A and B are shown apart, each in its own frame.
Chain A
Amino acid sequence: MKIKREEEEAQVNMTPMIDCVFQLLIFFMLIADMSNMATDREISLPYADKTVKIDINDPVIVNVRRDGTMWVGSEQVLENRLIQILKHEGDRKRGADGISEQEIFIRGDEFCKWENVQKVMWHAQDQAIYKIKLGSSGDPNKIRK
């Protein structure tokens, strides 16, 4: 006697995988820091225990890498271009007294020469921008280097 087998397609239960994928998706969505896309990953900021959270609205972020090159966003800038950017940004918040309320956030690598950061400061000062913030890291692991 022949037994008729019911033909059924073998199915993999996808539910646990979908659950895991959703968990991962939510995790990455929550942890993603999309707000500071103008900051440079190449830069290792110096340690400072008095580091405060970045609370600047609409800052001009100038990254100074270890080799002294200056970057604004993803663009490497030479001094002339930096002057243009600072002038443009400074003019946007310039008061009647000629002083700009614009803040400059300088992210200098911990091992870059101070001269390179000073250049940015000099150009900012030249555009009557006097408020600066220096990038630092509050991560205590840095001091055990």
Chain B
Amino acid sequence: MAKKRRKWAESNEKEPEVNMTPMIDCVFQLLIFFMVGTRFRSEDGVLAANLPRDKGQRPVEHINKKEELEHVRIKLFLGGSGVAMSATVCQVNQQSIPFDTLRADPAGEALKAHLMGLQRTGGNVPVTIDGEFQVPTRDVVCALNAAISAGYKEINFTVPDFLRRGGGLKPR
């Protein structure tokens, strides 16, 4: 009897197995989800600035000399001549600065150097970036980056009041 039982036990000796198939299925589902849904972390970040709290515009002739000295105004507009007709022109307090973010100076080093020079002579003064409508955002961000690099703390953007006309908005 005992011999028979041992024989039966030997014939039924199998290693216990865990069924892995459902787990593999789930893992594959997760893998596909992450592969499709993943966006690789980019170097995207931010540059901070402020908007002016005052509204409306003041004609340039109303800005007095003292104010002009105590303020750095970066003006960006489309200009140039010939082939460079639609190139962005950069002026700092009405003085033209070489500015070519597409080719020669993509990081705006000339503007940065100029702003650093002003920073040394004028102390920490507010900067206003005045970008014309048609200027690409790239150039304005470059100017903002240059101002931050030069150590300016108070950087503002101009927001023209007459935008409301083009946008079809009701006046407040």
Report, as a range, how many residues of chain A touch the other chain.
35 or more
A133 and B46 contact, CB distance less than 8 A: yes
Report the count of interface residues on B (CB-CB < 8 A): 54
Q: Please, which residue of chain A has its CB at the minimum distance from the CB of B172?
A: A126
List of B residues within 8 angstroms of A130 by Cβ: 50-53
B50 and A132 contact, CB distance less than 8 A: yes
Identify whether the interface residues of B are mostly helix, strand, loop, or mixed.
Answer: mixed
B47 and A133 contact, CB distance less than 8 A: yes
B20 and A14 contact, CB distance less than 8 A: yes
Query: For the complex, is B8 an interface residue (Cβ under 8 Å from A)?
Result: no
In the complex, A62 Cα to B149 Cα: how many Å?
Answer: 25
List of B residues within 8 angstroms of A33 by Cβ: 38-42
In the complex, A4 Cα to B99 Cα: how many Å?
Answer: 88
In the complex, A54 Cα to B45 Cα: how many Å?
Answer: 5
Which A residues lie at the B interface, using CB under 8 A? 14, 18, 21-22, 24-25, 28-29, 31-34, 36, 39, 41, 45-54, 56, 64, 79, 83, 105, 108-119, 121-122, 124-126, 129-139, 143, 145
Which B residues lie at the A interface, using CB under 8 A? 20, 24, 27-28, 30-31, 34-35, 37-53, 55, 76, 106-107, 131-142, 144-145, 148-149, 157, 159-160, 163-164, 167-169, 172
What are the 9 tightest A-B residue pairs by CB atom distance, in nearest-first order? Answer: A28-B34, A48-B145, A115-B133, A51-B45, A110-B138, A139-B43, A133-B46, A143-B106, A46-B138
